[in-house]
Structure 1
């Protein structure tokens, strides 16, 4: 952990990440060491989960501080391999305060089966959890990107469409990225998106 007990803002950030990790684990969205969670403090510091830890059993030691480029401030810390996807979002939009990444069954299966570049979700009441949506009578697209172990290269593919993303985005065979102005909002949007994906998967299975 980069902060100390005398740093209440850092402790609060760690608590929010730990609580979100437990919630995501309870829903089956972060199996094994999958997923990563981060938040940006009011002073610009970024807290993110340490590489390799189980997100359902996080302690404050499982959260580290990184700079805006994704480099750990403590040289002995190791950030997630996907840290750049978090810092990309923070650099893109100054209003983003938290980023969540999970690996649910619905997201993973749908990402492998969908042949187009996006999953369209329409007419669901819960779409109103996403910014700018006032009615269920709307249609939003969740972009899909091919998985790539070269995260810098993946980030260049994601970058051109960031401004048009209302739901977040999905990496094939991998999982979703969702964000918000703060951790509670980001978590609500993740839960909303996962509900939508579970509905979409159930409808596809029923159709077959």
Structure 2
């Protein structure tokens, strides 16, 4: 029997992810059919609900989600995002319950300007990432892109940074994770705010 970590079934997860995707799309962070979202439905074995491939993220319905395993492979009908395997890798590595991947201008621009990582310090918004005070310094890792999700997952694992539940994939976009879709959303908005601030400073 699986160890369930979510109270959502697949249809409920689809409704939640559709609502989250519509929010991000309204910000211009998931243009065209770009980006993808996931939520963990079971930890043992690891199973996720992942947004379906090739769909406009501002128009998703509860049915536009696919059940996947720890390798990102579909367990039923539908075709998940090509990056489903990376979502599963993040969930396994970090214990996250939800993962957000958005294609924002600020993440791509700052990844290009700071390929060694993007440092933030002494900013009140860092509290939104779980820090008790603004008097901290954290680094948002930047990793090289790859179409091979195993390679990209290895790069992400090697780059994980304490106190920063996110990574920029160079020339691609931003991955952020949290305990559930709501926390992942809040963290995504915080990290994007930090990136936009740094972009204005550069």
Normalised by the size of structure 2, how large is the TM-score?
Answer: 0.89
Provide the residue aligned with 1:82 in structure 2.
Answer: 83
1:160 aligns with 2:158: yes
Q: State how 1:2-13 maps to structure 2 within 5 Å.
A: 9-13=9-13
2: CA distance between counterparts of 1:8 and 1:171?
Answer: 29
Deviation for aligned residue 1:42 = 5.5
Measured against aligned partners, the alpha-carbon deviations of 1:101-133 in whole angstroms (never above 9, x if no partner) come to 00111111111222x4100011111111113x1
Question: What 5-or-longer segments of structure 1 have no aligned partner?
Answer: 1-6
Q: 2:196 aligns with which of 198, 201, 205?
A: 198
Provide the residue aligned with 1:4 in structure 2.
Answer: none
Q: State how 1:72-151 maps to structure 2 within 5 Å.
A: 72-74=74-76, 76-94=77-95, 96-114=96-114, 116-131=115-130, 133-151=131-149
Deviation for aligned residue 1:57 = 0.9
1:30 aligns with 2:25: no
Q: Which has the larger radius of gyration?
A: 1
Give 4+ residue runs of structure 1 displaced > 6 Å after superposition.
none
Aligned residue for 2:71, secondary structure, equals: coil
Measured against aligned partners, the alpha-carbon deviations of 1:76-108 in whole angstroms (never above 9, x if no partner) come to 5212111111010111133x1100000111111
1: CA distance between counterparts of 2:161 and 2:89?
Answer: 12
Query: Which is helix-richer, 1 or 2?
Result: 1
Whether the 8 Å contact between 2:98 and 2:178 is mirrored in structure 1 is: yes
Provide the residue aligned with 1:47 in structure 2.
Answer: 49
RMSD: 1.8
Whether the 8 Å contact between 2:10 and 2:65 is mirrored in structure 1 is: no
How many residues of Structure 1 are paired with residues of Structure 2 in the alignment? 194
1: CA distance between counterparts of 2:119 and 2:102?
Answer: 20
Aligned residue for 1:57, secondary structure, equals: coil
Aligned CA distance change for structure 1 residues 25 and 77 (closer, same or farther; 3 Å): same
Aligned residue for 1:61, secondary structure, equals: coil
